Structure 1
Amino acid sequence: MLAMLERAGRRALSYQDRNHHSRTYGCFDRRYWGWKIVDFPEATYQRNVLLLAGLWGLKESFFYHDLRLVRAVVAGIEYAAKVQHKDGSFDQAFVHEHSYGATGFLIHSLAAAGRRLGRNLPEEAVHILRGVVRKGADFLARHGEEHGLISNHLAGAALSLLDSAALVEEPAYLRAADDLLAKILAGQSPEGWFPEYQGADPGYQTLCVHYLAQARELLNREDLSKALDMSVDFLSCFVHPDGGFGGEYGSRRTSIYYPGGLARLAGKNPQASALAELMAEAIANKSTTTLDDIDLGNLAPLAESYLLAQESVGDRCMPGELPWQASGLERRFPEAGLYVAATPTLYSVLGVSNGGVLKVFDKARKKLIFDDAGYVGRLKGGDMITSQVTDLARRAEVSDGSAELEVEFQYWPQPLPGPFRFVILRLLNLTIMRSIYLGNLVKKLMVKILITGGKQAGLKLIRLVNFGVDAVEVRDELRLTGKGTTVLESLSAGQGFVGIHMASAGYFQGTEPPAQEPLLEPDIEELNRTGRTKLRIRIEAKDA
């Protein structure tokens, strides 16, 4: 983990404009200051100051007490001040965004970087930092995030407010943090998960835990401890035998594991200890998505979490048993639409809420042997459709060892940016979207188009999954419901893919199975002719 952090530090220094004479001195968005291919600098990249400050203070690192890192942190703080709006907010996705999430994340990183450098931060930089933090915290205390319930954003903002209260000695920020934490805890499902848009996402929940674990250390609150224990119990079900974590069965389809929060909890929670231990091994073996696999958009938050985990090495209690290690186990999460089953030979995860996404693992060989993210089809005329559709209200009959569900396929438009769309977006950015209220309305619309929305495509899947001791059997029935308007050219399943817009999904994992032909190919000629077709597959450990 230390070697990855050092490589990440080198990348961050290369991304930063370290030319003292440059107008963009301190900027971490090389696309803007270096390549000049974007028209504004993304402020969240300034979060990399915390990684650099952490490496500066890490005795095991070759960056330990390197003055170049102090200069880079100071420059990063100064540039953050330049791009901060008068109301204290920052931009991430577009100009004049006044992003609540970006502000909530960045203020913590800036304040924590300053705290780590302590007296080594020049007095002028301390003055600038205090001004940026105060303005940012004022914004967070006055505003909220309106385009969706994203728990990890709220947790990051709460930690920023706690850091701000300590730095500038402002009690109002403690009250604002309290309000946010109350909202997060009220939103937690009794099943242990925190909402991410319209459901549970194990990957992003580890980032939420990263922030909440630090908040708990600052506040020592019993309700936070209880919520984190529930969260760990939920997350433990989505650690895979092969070292992978999460995936297409989550609401945001992410597989990134943020280790910092779990490492902080590992000293008292046996499940957190087991989870942290197994995933530390997975990171070392690169069987999961690691810091080396991440682009600039997620470099800073993942590096922050690796830094926290690195500083917590050795602080673990006796690890407990993870669900996949059990010889017989069944866990149902009906609110999340998730189901897991363990037998002596297999471990399976079924995403009911995401259209029947199914992953099956051979426990003895710690190998993924069936990876089905759902069906993808192409209609005559070229339109794409998919069964990977999130619906927390989806009808499903779940009993001991079996699950049956119905899924209405949706169109999968896959919109891409283009010159005309960018011109329209920038015109909106420079006019009506200067209003935070109107900007949030547009963001809500974008979320609906890209993530949560969808038009039914006239095709239904009825999936029955039986979880036996030695095998998992899948029986699918496909029915056309579009009264002759839906004519398929192709349809297949049995491979991994992401069926929504989610920039943080789809990173490489070392456990990805090799390229293969789809394992489920229904008879589309029969489907088009008669309106229905059936198929079945049996998955056994010995078949791998």
Structure 2
Amino acid sequence: MRDVFAREVYNNLPRLLSLIDTDDTSESYGLGDRYYWAWGLTDFGNATFQGMAHGLSLLWIGNKWPYETDPQLFLDRIDALFIGTKKLTRLDGSLEEAFPNEGSYCVTALVAFDLLRTYSLLREEINDELAQSWLATIRPLIKYLKNADEHHALISNHLATASAALFCWHELISDVQAFAKAEILLARVLQNQSDEGWFVEYGGADPGYESLCLHYLTDIYRSNPDERLRRAIENSMSFLSYCMHPDGSFSGNYGNRYTRFIYPSSFYKFRGEISYAEKFLAPISESISNNAVVSLSCIDEPNFIPLFNSYCMALTSYDKFSEIIPENAEKLPCNSELNFTKIFPSAGLLFDKGDRHYTVVALKRGGAFYHFVDGYLKNKCLGLIIKKNTKEIYCNHHSSSINFDKQNNTITIESDFRKQKKRLPKPWQFFILRLACMTMFRIRLVREIIKSFLVWLLISQRESGVGSNTRIIKLGENLSVKDNLSIPKKFIQIQPKQAVVPIHMASKGYWQIQDEN
């Protein structure tokens, strides 16, 4: 299994190292966003790339570094990333990934966390002067995390990232304010955790980002063991266990953010402690090896660094455990000997397992489904589409009524069609955005109000529906689906060739091998 992560990490390491500007005579020395410092096609630097220092340091300290690199050269490269971070830090201590003066709470937290863990890993390798310089780079980021907050949506993985960063800082500096804010953010994540086990992502459950949330919650638990947090992590893994499919895929169009990736680190960190974590180990490795999930090699650069760090963490965790998983190890629900029908009402998900089949139904998505037989995807329907013209396309991912007839093993779902929120940016919109970046966005309150508006416009807005569909699904190995479609005149139904994603979401659409079938 180690070979899977080693292959992914080492194959992508040259690409990662190529991102850094190592020219110490350059104004952009230490920056990791090539689109900014090399191509010059944007007017700000995405700070997320600076967090690669964490993964690089894990490889170095864990004796997994594949090159014969001079130690001083390696430390100079890490120091360059700290220097680059300082250049990107705004006066209020914030960083950005989307636009100038964004004040991104998430990215500020992500970089602070990764640099703090880098500091801890390499502290014995550097002198006191350099150590103080690194802490001085991180300090403004922590100040921002203490003073600001994220209110445009409840995004659990963002809050977990900030909490982890603040706990790390307190661990090093004994900052009681940082500790208090970390506790507040963690409490918000845990208090909003569903009774079904999942953490909230824009109002719903998203397995992909849930695994990222666990990445940070696991770090918090390792530094601050707490039984409530452990139970929360265990409940989350229990929920996620249903989202691994017989063909090796994970999640899909039924997640609230439509993601199909999985961050492996938490499952390997909790190996031997949480039974659900143990169940994931062999399937994750096999899925990555077979390209059955979105792997590090498939991810684009804006999401590359957090997944790289998670893979490095999984790779360097192996030395603590035997690589052999016992043959009698517990299996994930999709591969278990038990037959069941499991419903998560709040998440809007139904999982049906038989002797030969495994079916996932998105109850809140008009009955979109995946149906696996003998370990392979036999049938799927990821949304019905109607259109009025080329610009007005509507999807039925909005259920109005759900009824499960347990006796007859059927589901009846009423849904309507709502206009897709996908749109491409126009030059005039960028012009207005940049004017706002140079003026209004310097005021935090105004900036946060506009962020909330954009989330509502692109993700959470609920427009009135047109037409309707009644879907009746008969569960079982020979799954049957019957639709009764009613649409207005001038509308026609179209058959999408691939998965339907009706909202704006940057992390959608990454390739995996099932897309070739």
TM-score interval for Structure 1 and Structure 2 normalised by the shorter chain: over 0.9
SS in 2 for 1:146: coil
Aligned-pair distance for 1:381? Answer: 6.2
Question: Which residue of structure 1 aligns with residue 403 of structure 2?
Answer: 397
Contact 2:20 2:31 in 1 (8 A): yes
**Higher mean C-alpha displacement, 72-81 vs 397-406:** 397-406
Question: Which residue of structure 2 aligns with residue 104 of structure 1?
Answer: 109
The structure-2 alpha-carbon separation of the partners of 1:118 and 1:75, relative to structure 1 and needing over 3 Å to count, comes to same
Question: Which residue of structure 1 aligns with residue 139 of structure 2?
Answer: 134
Q: How far apart are the structure 2 equivalents of 1:487 and 1:199?
A: 33
Whether 1:169 aligns to 2:177 is no
Whether 1:354 aligns to 2:365 is yes
Question: Which residue of structure 1 aligns with residue 334 of structure 2?
Answer: 324
Question: Which residue of structure 1 aligns with residue 459 of structure 2?
Answer: 451
Contact 2:163 2:183 in 1 (8 A): yes
Question: Which residue of structure 2 aligns with residue 536 of structure 1?
Answer: none
Contact 2:58 2:316 in 1 (8 A): no
Question: Which residue of structure 1 aligns with residue 491 of structure 2?
Answer: 488
Question: Which residue of structure 2 aligns with residue 529 of structure 1?
Answer: none
- Letter aligned with residue 360 of structure 1: H
Whether 1:265 aligns to 2:270 is yes
Q: How does 1:397-416 map to 2 (within 5 A)?
A: 397-400=403-406, 401-416=409-424
Whether 1:305 aligns to 2:310 is yes
Q: How does 1:83-482 map to 2 (within 5 A)?
A: 83-313=88-318, 315=321, 319-326=329-336, 327-362=338-373, 364=374, 366-380=375-389, 382-389=391-398, 394-400=400-406, 401-468=409-476, 470-480=477-487
**Higher mean C-alpha displacement, 6-15 vs 232-241:** 6-15
Aligned-pair distance for 1:453? Answer: 1.5
Contact 2:421 2:503 in 1 (8 A): no
Aligned-pair distance for 1:168? Answer: 2.3
Q: How far apart are the structure 2 equivalents of 1:51 and 1:94?
A: 25
- Letter aligned with residue 423 of structure 1: F
Q: How far apart are the structure 2 equivalents of 1:219 and 1:301?
A: 22
If asked which structure has higher relative contact order (CA below 8 Å, sep 6+), I would say 2
Give the unaligned 5+ runs of structure 2: none
Contact 2:53 2:114 in 1 (8 A): yes
Q: How far apart are the structure 1 equivalents of 2:449 and 2:54?
A: 32
**Higher mean C-alpha displacement, 231-240 vs 347-356:** 347-356
The structure-2 alpha-carbon separation of the partners of 1:231 and 1:344, relative to structure 1 and needing over 3 Å to count, comes to same
Question: Which residue of structure 1 aligns with residue 500 of structure 2?
Answer: 497
Contact 2:163 2:185 in 1 (8 A): yes
Q: How far apart are the structure 1 equivalents of 2:120 and 2:465?
A: 54
Cα deviation digits, residues 72-103 of structure 1 (max 9, x gap): 11000111011112222111211111111111
- Letter aligned with residue 333 of structure 2: P
The structure-2 alpha-carbon separation of the partners of 1:66 and 1:504, relative to structure 1 and needing over 3 Å to count, comes to farther
**Higher mean C-alpha displacement, 118-127 vs 17-26:** 118-127
Aligned-pair distance for 1:265? Answer: 1.6
The structure-2 alpha-carbon separation of the partners of 1:494 and 1:460, relative to structure 1 and needing over 3 Å to count, comes to farther
SS in 2 for 1:511: helix
Cα deviation digits, residues 467-519 of structure 1 (max 9, x gap): 12x21111111123xxx5x52234235742322111111100123242xxxxx
Q: How far apart are the structure 1 equivalents of 2:136 and 2:239?
A: 40
Aligned-pair distance for 1:66? Answer: 4.5
Contact 2:269 2:314 in 1 (8 A): yes
SS in 2 for 1:396: strand
Contact 1:248 1:498 in 2 (8 A): yes
Give the unaligned 5+ runs of structure 1: 515-544
Contact 1:374 1:495 in 2 (8 A): no
Identity over aligned residues, as a percent? 30
Contact 1:395 1:405 in 2 (8 A): yes
SS in 2 for 1:39: coil
Cα deviation digits, residues 209-251 of structure 1 (max 9, x gap): 1111111111110000111111111000000111110111010
Q: How far apart are the structure 2 equivalents of 1:230 and 1:438?
A: 38
Q: What TM-score does the superposition give when structure 1 sets the normalisation length?
A: 0.89
SS in 2 for 1:244: coil
Q: How far apart are the structure 2 equivalents of 1:115 and 1:229?
A: 27
**Higher mean C-alpha displacement, 430-439 vs 130-139:** 130-139
Which portions of structure 1, spanning 4 or more consecutive aligned residues, are displaced by more than 6 angstroms?
none
- Letter aligned with residue 321 of structure 2: D
SS in 2 for 1:471: coil
Question: Which residue of structure 1 aligns with residue 23 of structure 2?
Answer: 19
Contact 1:323 1:329 in 2 (8 A): no
Contact 1:147 1:441 in 2 (8 A): yes
Whether 1:42 aligns to 2:46 is yes
SS in 2 for 1:348: strand
Question: Which residue of structure 2 aligns with residue 532 of structure 1?
Answer: none
SS in 1 for 2:485: strand
Q: How far apart are the structure 1 equivalents of 2:156 and 2:421?
A: 27
Contact 2:59 2:316 in 1 (8 A): no
Aligned-pair distance for 1:187? Answer: 0.4
Paired residues, number:
504
Cα deviation digits, residues 136-171 of structure 1 (max 9, x gap): 222212221111000000111111001111222312
The structure-2 alpha-carbon separation of the partners of 1:489 and 1:53, relative to structure 1 and needing over 3 Å to count, comes to same
Q: How far apart are the structure 1 equivalents of 2:387 and 2:39?
A: 38
Q: How far apart are the structure 2 equivalents of 1:361 and 1:121?
A: 53
Cα deviation digits, residues 280-302 of structure 1 (max 9, x gap): 11112222111111111111100
Question: Which residue of structure 1 aligns with residue 510 of structure 2?
Answer: 507
